[in-house]
Chains A and B, each alone.
Chain A
Amino acid sequence: MKVRIKFTKTGPMQYVGHLDLLRYFQKAFRRAGVDIAYSSGYRPHQIVSFASPLGIGLTSEGEYMDAQFVTVDDSQTMIDRLNAVMAEGIRITQFLVLDEKERNAMASVAGADYRVTVRQGYYELVDFSDFCGEFLRQDAIFVTKKTKKGEKDEDIRPYIYEMRGTAEGLYLLLCAGSSHNLKPETVMEAFCAFLHMPYETFGFRIHRLDTYLQDDPDDITTLRPLGAVGHEAKTDHYETKE
């Protein structure tokens, strides 16, 4: 059965890259002794995929992965069993069973939101939140994108769905996924340029809050967390073991 798992990635784990995180989870599932499904052949492997890879150095409380399981216990039991073998910085927060027809996480990603705060020692006297409105009122926001064929200017304005000041810093809701994946770093770089300030690569702490799918591709109000689909597993219902 198809399962969707939501997890956090914080603390030291922010420095573990995407492929290593995949290996980490494969070993964690084995340690937890959960009944995950394997491919057949000489080198069987678990069928696992992440929704949207998080760059090294970013933290998150809204990561998702899809996996195939053979049997499951109820969601809370599964969460507890997995958390018992997790490293510091990774917490499982949701364990959902999906309908077979549900699109997988990677294919359905359409957006992600972030909390951006200023890292200590950078931009000390700047209050970015004051300028969000002005920044967004531009007709277009061009950034230079490196492509295989050289450089090209791209307007990122349509992919910034929301950007505003909050008590801690900034809130960003951006387009994500395979068609247009807008990185929060790119937005911050453009924002700094707009404010005529140098962009400090390490100047911001970026924390992903959640990852979203979109029911209607033309209507961003239909964005919903990836964890809003599927349903809690219940032992009596899904236990298929004899």
Chain B
Amino acid sequence: MNTLALSHEILMSIEKPARYIGHEINSVRKDPTKVDVRFAMCFPDVYEIGMSHLGIQIIYDMLNRRDDVFCERVYSPWLDLDAIMREKGIPLFALESQTPVKEFDFLGITIQYEMCYTNILQILDLSGIPICAKDRTESDPIVIGGGPCTYNPEPLADFFDLFYIGEGETEYYHLIDLYKKNQRDGGSRKDFLEKAAAVPGMYVPSLYDVLYHPDGTIMEMRPNHPNAPEKVRRQVVVDVTDTFYPEAPVVPYIKATQDRVVLEIQRGCIRGCRFCQAGQVYRPVRERDVEMLKSCAAAMLANTGHEEISLSSLSSSDYSSLKELTYYLIDVCREKRVNISLPSLRIDAFSLDVMSKVQDVRKGSMTFAPEAGSQRMRDVINKGLTEEDILNGAMEAFRGGWQKVKLYFMLGLPGETEEDIRGIAYLSDAIARQYYSIPKEQRNGRCAITASASFFVPKPFTPLQWAPMSDYKTYMDKAHIVNDCMKEQLNRKSIRFQWHDAKTTILEGVLARGDRRLCRVIYDAYRAGCLYDAWTEYFDYDKWMRAFDANGIDISFYTTRKRELDERFPWDFIDIGVTKQFLQREWKRSLAGETTPNCRAQCSGCGASVYGGGVCYESKD
């Protein structure tokens, strides 16, 4: 009896066959014939990456709590299996039942980054589902997209039947109920999508027509069905304590990128860094109750057996009960021999104390994300971190015994001058100087500073959504300026500088602020063999550029073009709560180098208070 979709011969001929066998601890078993709705939840990247994602585990748990629904998982087959499936005509299958995705009612795809777009097409293609939504028939699953990239879903508009804009916990049950009712009533796929368009947060791209100005910008996005709202309102979970949280997440057999319990302590961020999309689209900040987190942590550790737990949030230091939670976890974890990992902590006395308890300082490293080298630039992006903060933090860390420091920067920020760029080298050197100011006998050899630079990609719904990007050569020149400047620094031997290739940045930039006209390009790029674009070794920039050329699309329209303040953006039909007026105000302040206080210091009236919860309603003294 073979309970697996792939034969022994195939499993033995591919890398890591355990990616495809399902049956993991805590994976859900149901009889597919005994449920009303089968939902395939997909993360379009390789298993180890997809299994590390908390969002899928939340939805998986939430949907499987219903007896009438069976939610299963799907990941991208790796290239070796991809080739075999095509050659032998094996349809893509879901892990739990090992049955074809095409037999499901829904295929839900979480869209976490732009560079996975061709992987989405692979999923559809291997499933035998027509790639374009308009070609699908009654026997195909409803293809629904969710996740951060749905804050501009337009480049994918042709491939999805609908998008859900907002946090998964709120509307899926309604959607499932609606689907069941439509089935009972003998409604068609079209009927369902038209009804779904009226559910809050649902966007059915086929129910909208886009009209363009002669210059290529958008004139209007017009609903072509009465159920399709002019504006789609992002849905949020106001109470993040009394909600779904997976107490028994699935534990993979092979090592996932995040091989640990992930405890999401809050959603959103008070900081308002102007480049950060998450900081805007997850407003307002909502904290989970510390008692809930304690009990979730204990339950998840017991149910998974993971040897590590990690706190997750955009800025953990801003969580009000952080001390209580951390010291609780330290106690529990010491007893259970569980490691704690605390990313995104501001370096201060508390975090150093905690870090010294949970890691070996000699081996561990301290991470700072100044994002920009000069104070002027940090003001432009509203990164509320001063040089003094960084140097003092580093000094405290050095005195505490740390020697390794990691620094993250961005290049290509709006209005950046050569001096700003060189600032990255100056700041790295200044940190090293701090270290060497400690008397020699108290130091332990050299310090090791690693500075990494990525290139800035303007994202929808950020104050910097108006910012023009640079071209490839300019980006690489900027990186070389830093690199040359590093070589002139006193402590150059203690500093390592690394930077990303800007080709990925450019494509990411095009797709991030793209419109529906890019669907054809993505399709052609996929047909030309582009896949796993997020993996540098498989990313083929030239193939992509040929696909743009073939479609007569000049990428500079999306990258380097200057956007007017009143331009209508492809994503403007989405209402995220935060208003365009606020973003415009922030963009202007950014150009003027003015900072904006965080939500707890002073509310800036961004608009997110319409959700009626979170930080906007905390009592402020």
Answer whether A and B are interacting partners: yes
A residues lining the B interface (CB < 8 Å): 11-13, 15-17, 20, 23-24, 26-31, 33, 38, 42-45, 56-57, 85, 87-89, 119, 201-202
Q: Contacting B304 at CB < 8 Å: which of A16, A27, A29, A33?
A: A27
Question: What is the minimal beta-carbon distance from A183 to any residue of chain B, in angstroms?
Answer: 15
Whether B302 lies near A31 (C-beta < 8 A) is yes
Q: Contacting B23 at CB < 8 Å: which of A20, A28, A85, A87?
A: A87
* Chain A residue with Cβ nearest B248: A31
* A30-B336, A119-B8 known; A12 vs B306 contact (CB < 8 Å): no
B1-23 contacts to A, CB under 8 A, are 3-4, 8-9, 11-12, 17-18, 21-23
In the bound assembly, the distance between CA atoms of A12 and B2 in angstroms comes to 9
* Chain B residue with Cβ nearest A38: B337
Inter-chain contacts of B306 with A (CB < 8 A): 27, 30
Inter-chain contacts of B3 with A (CB < 8 A): 11-12
Whether A27 lies near B255 (C-beta < 8 A) is no
Question: What is the minimal beta-carbon distance from B603 to any residue of chain A, in angstroms?
Answer: 42
A-B contact pairs, 21 of them (CB 8 A): A12-B22, A13-B23, A15-B11, A16-B253, A17-B254, A23-B253, A24-B253, A26-B305, A27-B306, A29-B305, A30-B301, A30-B336, A31-B25, A38-B337, A42-B359, A45-B307, A56-B12, A87-B24, A87-B253, A88-B23, A202-B12
Whether A44 lies near B8 (C-beta < 8 A) is no
Is residue B567 within 8 Å, beta carbon to beta carbon, of the partner chain? no
Inter-chain contacts of A23 with B (CB < 8 A): 253, 255, 259
Inter-chain contacts of B22 with A (CB < 8 A): 12
Inter-chain contacts of A12 with B (CB < 8 A): 3-4, 21-23
In the bound assembly, the distance between CA atoms of A44 and B3 in angstroms comes to 37
In the bound assembly, the distance between CA atoms of A27 and B25 in angstroms comes to 10
Is residue B360 within 8 Å, beta carbon to beta carbon, of the partner chain? yes
Is residue B228 within 8 Å, beta carbon to beta carbon, of the partner chain? no
* A57-B11, A88-B23 known; A16 vs B18 contact (CB < 8 Å): yes
* Chain A residue with Cβ nearest B23: A12
Question: What is the minimal beta-carbon distance from B308 to any residue of chain A, in angstroms?
Answer: 9
Inter-chain contacts of B9 with A (CB < 8 A): 202
Inter-chain contacts of A29 with B (CB < 8 A): 305
Q: A12-B21, A12-B22 are in contact. List 11 more A-B contacts (CB 8 A).
A: A15-B18, A16-B253, A20-B254, A27-B305, A30-B305, A30-B336, A85-B25, A87-B253, A88-B23, A89-B23, A202-B9
Question: What is the minimal beta-carbon distance from B602 to any residue of chain A, in angstroms?
Answer: 41
* Contact pattern, B 539-563, Cβ under 8 Å of A = 1, otherwise 0: 0000000000000000000000000
Is residue B170 within 8 Å, beta carbon to beta carbon, of the partner chain? no
Q: Contacting A15 at CB < 8 Å: which of B17, B24, B303, B304?
A: B17
Is residue B251 within 8 Å, beta carbon to beta carbon, of the partner chain? yes
* A12-B4, A16-B253, A42-B360 known; A27 vs B18 contact (CB < 8 Å): no
* Chain A residue with Cβ nearest B1: A11
Whether A20 lies near B337 (C-beta < 8 A) is no
In the bound assembly, the distance between CA atoms of A43 and B363 in angstroms comes to 12
Inter-chain contacts of B254 with A (CB < 8 A): 16-17, 20
Is residue B339 within 8 Å, beta carbon to beta carbon, of the partner chain? yes
Question: What is the minimal beta-carbon distance from B332 to any residue of chain A, in angstroms?
Answer: 13
In the bound assembly, the distance between CA atoms of A31 and B303 in angstroms comes to 6
* Chain A residue with Cβ nearest B17: A15
In the bound assembly, the distance between CA atoms of A111 and B40 in angstroms comes to 46
In the bound assembly, the distance between CA atoms of A173 and B337 in angstroms comes to 41
Question: What is the minimal beta-carbon distance from A174 to any residue of chain B, in angstroms?
Answer: 21
* Chain A residue with Cβ nearest B303: A31
Whether A56 lies near B17 (C-beta < 8 A) is yes
* A15-B17, A30-B336, A42-B360 known; A20 vs B305 contact (CB < 8 Å): no
Question: What is the minimal beta-carbon distance from B297 to any residue of chain A, in angstroms?
Answer: 14
Whether B339 lies near A43 (C-beta < 8 A) is yes
Q: Contacting B253 at CB < 8 Å: which of A11, A20, A33, A44?
A: A20
In the bound assembly, the distance between CA atoms of A24 and B18 in angstroms comes to 12
Inter-chain contacts of B18 with A (CB < 8 A): 15-17, 20
In the bound assembly, the distance between CA atoms of A89 and B25 in angstroms comes to 12
A11, A16, A30, A87, most chain B CB atoms within 10 A: A30
Whether A31 lies near B305 (C-beta < 8 A) is yes
In the bound assembly, the distance between CA atoms of A38 and B333 in angstroms comes to 13
Inter-chain contacts of A119 with B (CB < 8 A): 8
A15, A24, A89, A202, most chain B CB atoms within 10 A: A15
Question: What is the minimal beta-carbon distance from B77 to any residue of chain A, in angstroms?
Answer: 15
Inter-chain contacts of A38 with B (CB < 8 A): 337
In the bound assembly, the distance between CA atoms of A70 and B345 in angstroms comes to 36
* Chain B residue with Cβ nearest A24: B253
Inter-chain contacts of B4 with A (CB < 8 A): 12
B255-302 contacts to A, CB under 8 A, are 255, 259, 301-302
In the bound assembly, the distance between CA atoms of A70 and B497 in angstroms comes to 48
Inter-chain contacts of B360 with A (CB < 8 A): 42-43
* Chain B residue with Cβ nearest A88: B23
A13, A27, A33, most chain B CB atoms within 10 A: A27
Inter-chain contacts of B336 with A (CB < 8 A): 30
Q: Contacting A26 at CB < 8 Å: which of B24, B253, B302, B307?
A: B307
Whether A27 lies near B23 (C-beta < 8 A) is no
Inter-chain contacts of A28 with B (CB < 8 A): 25, 305
Inter-chain contacts of A33 with B (CB < 8 A): 302
Question: What is the minimal beta-carbon distance from B481 to any residue of chain A, in angstroms?
Answer: 40
Question: What is the minimal beta-carbon distance from A218 to any residue of chain B, in angstroms?
Answer: 37
Question: What is the minimal beta-carbon distance from A57 to any residue of chain B, in angstroms?
Answer: 5
Question: What 8 A-B pairs are tightest by C-beta distance, nearest first?
Answer: A27-B305, A30-B305, A31-B305, A15-B17, A12-B21, A42-B360, A44-B337, A12-B23
Question: What is the minimal beta-carbon distance from A33 to any residue of chain B, in angstroms?
Answer: 7
In the bound assembly, the distance between CA atoms of A42 and B22 in angstroms comes to 33
* Contact pattern, B 356-391, Cβ under 8 Å of A = 1, otherwise 0: 000110000000000000000000000000000000
Whether B25 lies near A87 (C-beta < 8 A) is yes
Question: What is the minimal beta-carbon distance from A205 to any residue of chain B, in angstroms?
Answer: 8
B310-367 contacts to A, CB under 8 A, are 336-337, 339, 359-360
In the bound assembly, the distance between CA atoms of A9 and B482 in angstroms comes to 55
In the bound assembly, the distance between CA atoms of A63 and B8 in angstroms comes to 21
In the bound assembly, the distance between CA atoms of A57 and B11 in angstroms comes to 8
* Chain A residue with Cβ nearest B10: A202
Whether A27 lies near B251 (C-beta < 8 A) is yes
* Chain B residue with Cβ nearest A19: B255
* Chain A residue with Cβ nearest B336: A30
